[in-house]
Amino acid sequence: MATGDIVREQWATRFGFILAAVGSAVGLGNIWRFPFQVGQEGGSAFLLMYFFFILLIGLPAMLVEFTVGRRTALSPIGALREVGGGAWKYVGALFVLIGFVILSYYSVVAGWVLRYFVGSFTGAYMDEPGEYFLDIATGLDAVLFHAAFLAITVGIVAFGIQRGIELAVKLMVPAIIAIMLGLAIYAATLAEVGEAYSYYLSPDVEVLQDDWRSIVPAAAGQAFFTLSLGMGVMITYASYLGEDRNLAEDSGVIIAFDTGIAFLTGLIVFPILFAAGIGAADPGAGAIFVALAGAFAEIQGGTIIGILFFGMFAVAALSSAISLLEVVVSNVIDEYGIDRSTAATAIGGGIFLLGVPVALFADANNEPIMVDLYDILAAEILLVTGGILLMILVGWIYAEQALDELRKGIGDLGALGEVWIWMVRVPVIVVLIVSLYLAVTGYWAFLTTDFADFLGM
Ligand code: TRP
């Protein structure tokens, strides 16, 4: 087990690196967050914007993180200190803070998944799927499962993750894909499938025109969140790369996997939601849980499928949570020389406390209100801010070195290198700034309406 970074650990194979990055990317963001964002933001209009942002922002931003990580072979604080000097290390510190915030509520939602996994053995959620979610989403149960999920995450990270992750993802990712395909086929047989597909798949330009002020920041935030960008996960993972591979090709593969799995989730969830008569208007944070629990109650062999699905879902969440905690832990190890298990345990304790309010408080309808408060702040505001700062640094200050790094393993980039850097320099930064502005405005509206109501103000 590594203590400190005397010899930096490395991925055993290129496939292992790709799968670990896919493991980080594929998680609650694809299976939980994506469908409820689609539902809240007008269906296919959101989907279109999301695809656009994955290509316009996600791909260039992932290349930025990969080149910085591989070139410096350091975790984010050290990497940004080396790349930008002086004050840029505080951006690395911001990344650590973001990881802290995201994992605190991520773990609460993952705790729900764990609860459903346990419940699927007895069919606990099948009688009253809607009620069941509201019962377990907040309260003592939620706190305990939040603690349990975080304890598993801490345990793995404390042990040193390279061999653990690389091995686990090789089993996990194929299993996820197989189970998702099976469920998508099942969903395609439901009577309401036509209505659901057209809601999900036929782009409605009018919705986009009317609601772009909330769709744009939601889609940009989701693009960052689902690809694990904006807080240095991909810097950290690329810092464990040995020989020089083709980073552009790797990014393409990772993005294709992540986007494919999110897309597949929509093909599963919307037919089931329509079939259950819930529709997709505003399904909220409980959508996926309620929809799938309802479906598993109906179908042949639902118990087994439920066990498989929620087991897979929990593992997917775990391999993402590990990457979030690893960023915080590896920075603390590098900066303060604290040993890995102490760091992981102490940080895990802090993250647990920050997540407790999310697991405790419900609004008048018993919905878990704090999730939105944390989630919008993290995805639409913090990650996008992290992204903007990193794009400025690499696009305008570190461009030559970044280009040089990208060339390794590719050779001559031709005009594409310039295209990438100029994408980062102007359109990506401009779109992100607009998106951040809209997000802050929207968040303020949320705080002064829904959230103020909850506080009784
Ligand atoms: N991408 C993961 C998901 O979709 C979550 C995640 C892991 C993440 N690491 C991250 C999100 C870093 C933002 C930043 O579930």
Q: What is the pLDDT of residue 163?
A: 62
Distances (CA, A) of 296 to 265, 299, 304: 15, 5, 9
CA 80 to mean position of chain CA atoms: 22
Q: What is the pLDDT of residue 78?
A: 92
Span 439-449, pLDDT tens digits? 999 999 989 98
Residue of the nearest CA to atom 14 in ligand 1? Answer: 228
Ligand 1 centroid–CA 317 distance in Å is 9
- DSSP letter string over 335-366? HH---HHHHHHHHHHHHHHHHHHHHH---TTS
Range scoring the smallest mean pLDDT among 108-112, 134-138, 236-240, 285-289:
285-289
C-beta of 222 in contact with ligand 1 (< 6 A): no
Nearest to 381 by CA among 188, 205, 217, 267: 217
Ligand 1 centroid–CA 61 distance in Å is 14
Ligand 1 centroid–CA 156 distance in Å is 17
The radius of gyration computed from the CA coordinates of the chain, to the nearest angstrom, equals 21
Ligand 1 centroid–CA 93 distance in Å is 18
Q: What is the pLDDT of residue 69?
A: 95
d(CA 273, CA 211): 23
14-455: CATH architecture: Up-down Bundle (1.20)
Residue of the nearest CA to atom 2 in ligand 1? Answer: 25
Ligand 1 centroid–CA 25 distance in Å is 6
Buried b (16+ CB within 10 A) or exposed e, 108-131: bbbbbbbbbbebbeeebbbeebbe
- 3-class DSSP state of 102: helix
Residue of the nearest CA to atom 8 in ligand 1? Answer: 228
- Domain ranges in the chain are 14-455
Residue of the nearest CA to atom 9 in ligand 1? Answer: 228
pLDDT surpassing 70 at residue 48: yes
C-beta of 265 in contact with ligand 1 (< 6 A): no
d(CA 210, CA 314): 37
Ligand 1 centroid–CA 102 distance in Å is 8
Buried b (16+ CB within 10 A) or exposed e, 235-250: bbbbbbbeeebebbeb
Q: Candidates 234, 264, 324, 371: which one to mutate for ligand 1, based on the most atoms within 8 Å of Cβ?
A: 324
Span 375-434, pLDDT tens digits? 999 999 999 999 999 999 999 999 999 999 999 988 888 889 999 999 999 999 999 999
Q: Candidates 28, 165, 320: which one to mutate for ligand 1, based on the most atoms within 8 Å of Cβ?
A: 320
Joined together, the tokens standing for residue 136 give: 């377990």
Q: With a threshold of 0.85, does the pTM exceed it?
A: yes
Ligand 1 centroid–CA 69 distance in Å is 17
